[in-house]
Structure 1
Amino acid sequence: MTRRRVLIADDEPLARERLGRMVDELEGYQVVAEAATGTQVLAAVADRTPDLVLLDIRMPGGDGLDVAKQLAARADPPAIIFCTAYDEYAIRAFEVQAAAYLLKPVRRQALAEALSRAERLNRAQLQALRSRPEENTHHLTVTSARGTELVDMTRVRYCEADQKYVTLHYDEGNTLTDLSLKALEQRFPDHLLRIHRNTLVGTRYVRALERLDDGACQLRVADVPDALPVSRRHVARVRQRLREL
């Protein structure tokens, strides 16, 4: 099996060592180079052509954001995963096409999931990340135990409210957001459709509206095994939206 090549960039030797151990423990990845400065990162990428870069933000010789911007301009850029102690750079990180944003101390599971997400980013998604997230019409920045990630809302199958959190179910699995269903519905009206007080569905994945023997309705959604209940008050709106689609 071909292993993905990883460059670790951090000005702290212990941080590089810790990340290196975690990468070595993951199947399918190998550390091919390390760097302690921005200048070293650029040289190592040119020399070793890694597939992924684990990049700190505050480093001498060009900070991580500047380095990521230069790497993004390459014809075949590596995927960038920021690993940092600072949470205030998340939005700027996604502006330079970061695949994930992890806060130190980085957990092994969070790193594994970030590496997997980074590999799934295709060129179309990278192009979408070039626009500012706050101006982007279909991306949502979500911070969870796994770090900060950018969710493409066009790939969300459904959103399910449970107490004060909403779970987003999408291609890569699921994640939580503290945004309400109402806020999501208002922010992404072209992508999400209300079918229940606790549920929004991704319009592009709707397959069929079914009526049960007792008169209740349910919705079939692509790649979702179980049908989702549609409340009576939302049936007419769902039918109208299906006709529009």
Structure 2
Amino acid sequence: MEPLKIVIADDHDSSRTLLRHFVSLLPHYCIVGEAATGEELVQLVLKEKPDIALVDINMPNLDGMEAVKSCKELLPSLQVIFTTGCDEFAVEAFKIAAVDYIVKPIEPTRLFNALEKARKFIQLYDQPEKRKSKRLDIKLQNSILFIPMEDILFIEKESRKTVIHTQAEKYETNEPLNELETRLDHYFLKTHRSYIVNLKKVIKIEAVGETYWARFSNSDKVAYISKLKINDVQKKIIHLH
């Protein structure tokens, strides 16, 4: 594997120097540019197409968080590690799929572990079989899980959590159901205010009182279908098959 390209964005020279020194201690990584503002970072990402960005949040004008949102639109594969003096933005950082969030002063081992995590995500992203099979990338606490969409039976809102069900597993995330819905393939349908179902996996629909249950092959799990949605579900299942 060729060295992974890194850009550093921080408005303090001393912080950039320290990060540059730490990265230089590792094989398989090379720094291809530095930025002192959010605007400079966006331009740098556009020019260099890096693999990883080490980004401070508190920078003048365009802050690191907003700059990263622009960078991810330009380069979705970019892996971002925030390096910042405060921990108040951690939740927002993981909402935009940051690999890690490191609070200064930066310990070298902490940075090395974050870079290794980013490298593993890049390897996953680059695998041809992963590109062929569409995935749903979900944030689990401080990591990201890549689930092939074909493996998902349904997604359920459960209290304040969203639960993704496969045949054998279930995964909890804080990402809203409506947000996940926008990233799913055409064979998923919101069948109920709290359920999104993979209609390709449905083998049976049962009437239960005022609602309906969707059943799946080799699974005891059920998903709800509302009375208002049952006709849409049936039409779409017929179309898919």
Aligned CA distance change for structure 1 residues 115 and 7 (closer, same or farther; 3 Å): same
User: What CA deviation, in whole Å up to 9, does each residue of 1:170-209 have, x standing for no partner?
Assistant: xxxxxxxxxxxxxxxx968877xxxxxxxxxxx549xxxx
Q: Which residue of 2 aligns with 1:150?
A: 143
Q: Which residue of 2 aligns with 1:78?
A: 78
Task: Give the alignment of 1:36-185 within 5 angstroms.
Answer: 36-121=36-121, 122=124, 128-129=137-138, 139-141=139-141, 149-150=142-143, 152=145
For residues 127 and 99 of structure 1, the distance between their equivalents in structure 2, rounded to whole angstroms, comes to 16
Query: Kindly, what percent of the aligned residue pairs are identical?
Result: 30
**Could you tell me how far 1:67 is from its partner in structure 2?**
0.7
TM-score (norm 2): 0.55
Is the 2:11–2:59 Cα contact (8 Å) retained in structure 1? yes
TM-score (norm 1): 0.54
Aligned CA distance change for structure 1 residues 73 and 127 (closer, same or farther; 3 Å): farther
**Could you tell me how far 1:128 is from its partner in structure 2?**
2.7
Query: How large is the Cα RMSD of the aligned pairs?
Result: 3.2
**Could you tell me how far 1:96 is from its partner in structure 2?**
1.6
Letter in 2 for 1:128: D
State the secondary structure of the residue aligned to 2:20: helix
Aligned CA distance change for structure 1 residues 112 and 74 (closer, same or farther; 3 Å): same
Q: Which runs of 4+ in 1 moved over 6 A?
A: 186-191
Aligned CA distance change for structure 1 residues 92 and 76 (closer, same or farther; 3 Å): closer
State the secondary structure of the residue aligned to 2:31: strand
**Could you tell me how far 1:119 is from its partner in structure 2?**
2.3
Aligned CA distance change for structure 1 residues 24 and 75 (closer, same or farther; 3 Å): closer
Number of residue pairs the alignment of both structures matches: 153
For residues 144 and 73 of structure 2, the distance between their equivalents in structure 1, rounded to whole angstroms, comes to 23
State the secondary structure of the residue aligned to 1:45: helix
**Could you tell me how far 1:151 is from its partner in structure 2?**
5.5
**Could you tell me how far 1:31 is from its partner in structure 2?**
1.0
Structure 2 stretches lacking a partner, 5+ long: 148-159, 171-217, 222-241
Aligned CA distance change for structure 1 residues 119 and 127 (closer, same or farther; 3 Å): farther
State the secondary structure of the residue aligned to 2:137: helix
